[in-house]
Chains A and B, each alone.
Chain A
Amino acid sequence: MYSETQILKEASAGDIDGGELVINVGPQHPATHGVLHLVITLQGETIKKIEPHLGYIHRSIEKMCESLSYRQFIYVTSRMDYLSAHINNHACALCVEKGLQVEVPPRAKVIRVLMDELTRIASHELWLGAMAMDLGAFTPFFYAFREREAINEIMEETCGARLTMNYMVPGGVMFDLHPNFQKKVKAFITQFKKKVVEFDDLVTNNIIFQNRMKGIGVLSKEDAISYGCTGPVARASGVHCDIRKIYPYEIYDQLEFDEITESAGDSFARYMVRVREMHQSAKIIEQLIDNIPEGDYQAKTKAVLKLPKGEFYSRVETARGELGVYIVSEGGTTPYRIKFRSPGFSNLSALDHIARGGKIGDLMATMGTLDLVIPDIDR
């Protein structure tokens, strides 16, 4: 029998003698931002293979939803991609409305889009700070969080919560806007435009940052499509995949904004896509904030919702990519089966491909730009 020490010794000696070093990054690691576990095979500092191990935060949300009513299951989805909780809820609400054939009042539509875009900015701000921290720059994190805090305060005032708002209900939104909403959002947009220049000085144009990002983790257009990448990750490789443009929902077809794409497909392109997307979101908010139509914020729905027998699918563009909600209904008050197509899972699958051959430092940059939210991957 081997003692544990002997096994340890032999394991480490074998790894080093073979020239290959297997290290575990995570489940507790500062750069994985959650309980992602990557088993990395190294040759020196060069990455040979990455094997993600999932399931540390699997809560079987899909199964849970099967026992919840159509009003109840929406709140659970805030816990998947908690940084774009509004948009997740929005996708579920859209899917239920599709089944119920409810017409959402125009005011609710505008409120939903406003909240979605605010969430997108908040999510990208957090990503920007966290990614700069992955690269070793701590300070941008705090500047990014200051901007995000302004959005959180707006959310808190209107929705009553900061992170898991549960504001979207089938047929509209839960409350009307807070009277201060317009004033605060306008103040935020002004502040945002003024302060975003700091990130250019501090991060984007920094020579060290550019050298760390450019040409690292290149994902070609073909690979992006074959791995099923969506959102900013795919758009940085030149794939036109913005659901808001190609399958417009709510009032996105009436709004004026650009789909941001880059062609390089490297980490810097992914970075730039997200930074430019924040500006587009700000543009959308500016268009809508003075033109919120009057009227109901919620359509009249029955107390107990029953979807007709059939299958319903809706998709939205979250901050991370395409979120699909697929509901199979047997005609009862709870779904028969729910499937979420989460953007993080497919984006993670490209990690092994694009990080191979890079250094450990590159892995952190690449992983940072994939913008992984682990509960979104595990569900």
Chain B
Amino acid sequence: MFSLESITNAVQDWLNANFSPMWALIIQCAIVILLAMGLFATLGLVLVLMERKVAAHMQIRLGPNRVGPKGMFQTAADTLKLIMKEGLTPEGADKLLFNLAPFVVMIVSMLLLAPLAFSNGFQLWDLNIGVLFISAVSSVSVIGILMAGWASNNKYSLLGAMRSGAQIVSYELSAGLSIISIVVLAGSLQISDIINSQQDGWWIFKGHIPAIISFVIFIIAVTAETNRAPFDLAEAESELTAGFHTEYSGMKFALFFLAEYINIFIACAIGATLFLGGWMPLHIGHWQAFNHVMDYIPGVVWFFGKTFFLIFVIMWFRWTFPRLRIDQLLNLEWKYLLPISLFNLLLVTLIAIMGWHF
């Protein structure tokens, strides 16, 4: 059966056989960095094209179709344009913070890549507090956005950044609570443990209605955390022109743009891992024959399939709904999502204690 684990093990064995342990580690790090950057670049290109195509087809348009077959190289051409553009720093801007902000946002999304399990045994860092790490690090990205907004010396940027701050801080809560409900069910914070606990079925099926509710809340919360429509108040094109990245151009803007899409990917990957079993194929209880058939599809296909399905759902939201107002956004969190997820957490705990889940 195809497995990425065998490749990684083979590489490690070969390196250890031919180099001293320290050099082997350094080469491994280099390979990982290259792979991570390659993944980021590919994801950026693919997701932007996917978004444009999804949007176009929902809006009875064709979408990009000029550069390359079916417009496949459109995003590559756009990236080339952005690289060649001048990165302007406005007068009166805080130069250090202004130039640092895109990198802070980018680094946060890179850090979040660490605990993701792409396939069985194909994981950068399987730390025992993986879920905690994710929710802790993901909240740092708001600092980058606040820096960008404040340092731009632009009132639109400032308003966008402040909105973003209020929004991300509030929605962290319900995202965290819905993650905790799965942690309670799985009984572990480690990503690999959570995935293994879904061997006989995904949590969204095993955890009855409370798991579905926390899944829905999770999707809403990560949509808000990644500043996507209908919660894109930090950018709010028709209100704040471009919000916190109004003054950015060229590659610095591209970094923000890329970070947005990487964040979506990571948020959806986490959702897929926690609720839909990550790389775990669709298993149903004791149907051995069915489970065996499903095992023939490689884990990495399952992982990317689930993640891209969730990404599609988030794009679907974006191209359907109008934007919320800032006070309605906070109302939604504090009046609806937070009480529901708190109550839901109680139910999940009850289910976990009584062992009512499958």
Across the interface, do B320 and A135 meet the contact criterion of CB distance under 8 Å? no
Number of interface residues of B (CB under 8 A): 32
Looking at B30-38, B230-238, B276-284, B342-350, the stretch in contact with chain A turns out to be: B230-238
A202 to B230: give the CA distance in the assembly, Å.
14
Segment 302-341 of B: residues with Cβ below 8 Å from A = 319-328
B226 to chain A, nearest CB (A): 16
Tell me which residues across on chain B come within 8 A of A4, comparing CB atoms. 91
Q: Are A23 and B238 in contact (CB under 8 A)?
A: no
CB B62 to nearest CB in A, in angstroms, measures 12
Interface string of A44-65 (1 = CB under 8 A from B): 0100000000000000000000
**Minimum CB–CB distance for B146 against chain A, Å:** 15
The number of inter-chain residue pairs (CB within 8 angstroms) is: 95
Q: Produce 1/0 per residue, B30-71, CB < 8 A to A.
A: 000000000000000000000000010011110000000000
Enumerate chain B residues within 8 angstroms of A143, measured Cβ to Cβ. Answer: 59-60
Contact of A209 with B by CB under 8 A:
yes
Bound-complex Cα distance A135 to B323 (A):
6
Q: How many residues of A contact B (CB 8 A)?
A: 38
B92 touches A8 (CB 8 A): yes
Give residues 323-379 of A contacting B (CB, 8 Å).
359-364
With contacts A137-B320, A137-B321, A209-B322 known, is A361 near B55, CB below 8 A? no
User: Is the CB–CB distance between A360 and B322 below 8 Å?
Assistant: no
A110 at the interface (CB under 8 A from B): no
Q: Does A142 contact B (CB under 8 A)?
A: yes
Q: Is B153 an interface position by the 8 A CB rule?
A: yes
Cβ A364 vs Cβ B326 within 8 A: no
Which among B58, B239, B319, B321 is the interface contact of A208 at CB below 8 angstroms? B321
Bound Cα distance from A143 to B60, whole angstroms: 8
Is A285 in the interface zone, CB < 8 Å from B?
no
A360 to B326, CA, bound (A): 9
Does the CB pair B325–A31 fall under 8 Å?
Answer: no
Which one, A21, A30, A137, A363, contacts B322 given CB within 8 A?
A137
A253 to B232 alpha-carbon distance, docked (Å): 49
**What chain A residues lie within 8 Å of B153 (beta carbons)?**
8-9, 12
- Closest Cβ neighbor of A16 among chain B residues: B158
Interchain CA distance A375-B114 in the complex, whole Å: 55
Output the nearest chain B residue to A363 by Cβ-Cβ distance.
B239
Interface string of A216-245 (1 = CB under 8 A from B): 000000000000000000000000000000
B240 close to A (CB within 8 Å)? yes
CB neighbours (8 Å) of B324 from chain A are 208, 211-212
- Does any Cβ of B come within 8 Å of A160's Cβ? no
Report how far A363 CA is from B59 CA in the complex, Å.
26
Chain A CB within 8 A of B159 CB: yes
Convert A179-222 into 0s and 1s, putting 1 for each residue whose CB lies closer than 8 angstroms to a CB of B. 00000000000000000000000110010110110000000000
Docked Cα-Cα span, A15 to B236, in Å, equals: 22
A146 part of interface (Cβ distance < 8 Å): yes
Q: A8-B91, A138-B319, A142-B59 are in contact. Are A208 and B238 (CB under 8 A)?
A: no
The minimal Cβ–Cβ distance linking B205 to chain A, given in whole angstroms, is 28
User: When A8-B91, A359-B325 are in contact, do A364 and B238 touch as well, CB less than 8 Å?
Assistant: yes
Given contacts A136-B229, A139-B58, contact A361 B92 (CB under 8 A): no
Q: Would B55 and A138 count as touching, CB distance under 8 A?
A: yes
Within 8 A of A (CB), among B59-113: 59-61, 91-92
Residues of B226-271 whose CB lies within 8 A of A: 229-230, 232-233, 236-241
Cβ of B155 < 8 Å from any Cβ of A? yes
Q: Which residue of A lies closest to B166 (CB)?
A: A45
Assuming the contacts A23-B156, A29-B241, asked whether A136 and B236 have C-beta atoms less than 8 A apart, the reply is: yes
Distance in angstroms from B40 CB to nearest chain A CB is 27
Residues of A within 8 A of B322 (CB): 132, 135-137, 203, 206, 208-209, 212
Beyond A4-B91, A45-B159, whether A133 also contacts B238 by CB under 8 A is yes
Is A5's beta carbon under 8 Å from chain B?
yes
Question: CA separation between A31 and B240, bound complex, in Å?
Answer: 9
A127-151 vs B, Cβ < 8 Å mask (1 yes, 0 no): 0000011111111011100100000
Task: Please give the residue numbers on chain B whose beta carbons come within 8 Å of chain A beta carbons, in ascending order.
Answer: 55, 58-61, 91-92, 153, 155-156, 159, 163, 229-230, 232-233, 236-241, 319-328
User: What would 7 A/B residue contacts be, using CB atoms closer than 8 Å?
Assistant: A4-B91, A134-B238, A136-B230, A137-B321, A137-B323, A360-B240, A361-B233
Residues of A within 8 A of B (CB): 4-5, 8-9, 12, 15, 21, 23, 29-31, 42, 45, 132-139, 141-143, 146, 202-203, 206, 208-209, 211-212, 359-364
Instruction: Kindly list the 4 A-B residue pairs having the minimum CB-CB distance in the complex, ordered from nearest.
Output: A136-B323, A135-B322, A137-B322, A142-B59
Other than the known A137-B320, A211-B325, what 10 A-B pairs have Cβ atoms closer than 8 Å?
A12-B155, A45-B163, A135-B322, A138-B59, A142-B61, A146-B60, A208-B328, A359-B327, A361-B233, A364-B238
